[in-house]
Amino acid sequence: MSGNKQVVDVLISGGEATAGPPLGPKLGPLGINVKAVVDRINELTKDFRGMKVPVKIIVDVDTKEFQVEVGIPTVSALIAKEAGIEKGSSEPGRKYVGDLTFDQIVKISKMIIPKLKINNLKSVVLQVIGTCVSMGIKIDGKDPKIVTKEVKEGFYDRYFTES
């Protein structure tokens, strides 16, 4: 890419970008193939279907080349999708709205590690569990505060040792 770059930041529904707003009106004036950009975004965001995903499109205005960088949805959005719920509990700690397995917690943690720039899976898992506390999500049928204690005591260490 040459030096004349234009950056377009948008929030789209994963796997569901279209040439309509917000993309079309922002990309059209740059003279690039909007359909090609939309197809690329949908390919890169298909795993985040149904979630709002931050996307950055970097366009070389001279050559009409583009790059797409996909951000990561919020931890709470990933938890809600994994738990199959719309939103967290209005009374976390008293009223639970979902239940995830520890495997699902690890899966979410691995998705967000690049965003956090922390290379310690156990630390990230504890952060995800903390979000479960505030959302009213149980883990393996247990209060997430109990699971936090178990993680700290080494009960789940098999998940954190690289084989």
Per residue of the chain (163 residues), what is the pLDDT tens digit?
557 899 999 999 899 999 998 899 999 899 999 999 999 999 999 888 878 889 999 999 899 999 999 988 889 999 998 999 988 999 998 999 999 999 999 999 998 888 787 889 999 999 999 999 999 999 999 999 999 999 999 999 999 986 4
How many domains is the chain partitioned into structurally?
2
Same domain, 57 and 132: no
> What three-state secondary structure class fits 141?
coil
CA-CA-CA-CA torsion sign (99, 102, 106, 107)? negative
Q: Is 74 left (phi over 0), alpha (psi -120 to 50) or beta?
A: beta
- The CA angle 69-72-75, to the nearest 5 degrees, is 170
Whether the pTM exceeds 0.85: the reply is: no
Residue-number span of the structural domain to which 131 is assigned: 75-159
- pLDDT at position 2 is 58
Determine phi and psi for 12, rounding to 5 degrees.
-125, 165
Same domain, 100 and 143: yes
- Per DSSP, the residues of 85-136 read -SS--SSTTTS--EEE-HHHHHHHHHHHHHHHT---HHHHHHHHHHHHHHHT
- pLDDT at position 10 is 92
Determine phi and psi for 85, rounding to 5 degrees.
-120, 160
Q: What is the CATH number of the domain that holds 54?
A: 3.30.1550.10
Same domain, 59 and 10: yes
Same domain, 102 and 31: no
Looking at 23, 38, 70, which one is the last position of a domain? 70
Same domain, 80 and 133: yes
User: In sequence order, which residues have a C-beta less than 8 Å from that of residue 106 and are 6 or more positions away?
Assistant: 121, 125, 159
Q: What is the CATH number of the domain that holds 115?
A: 1.10.10.250
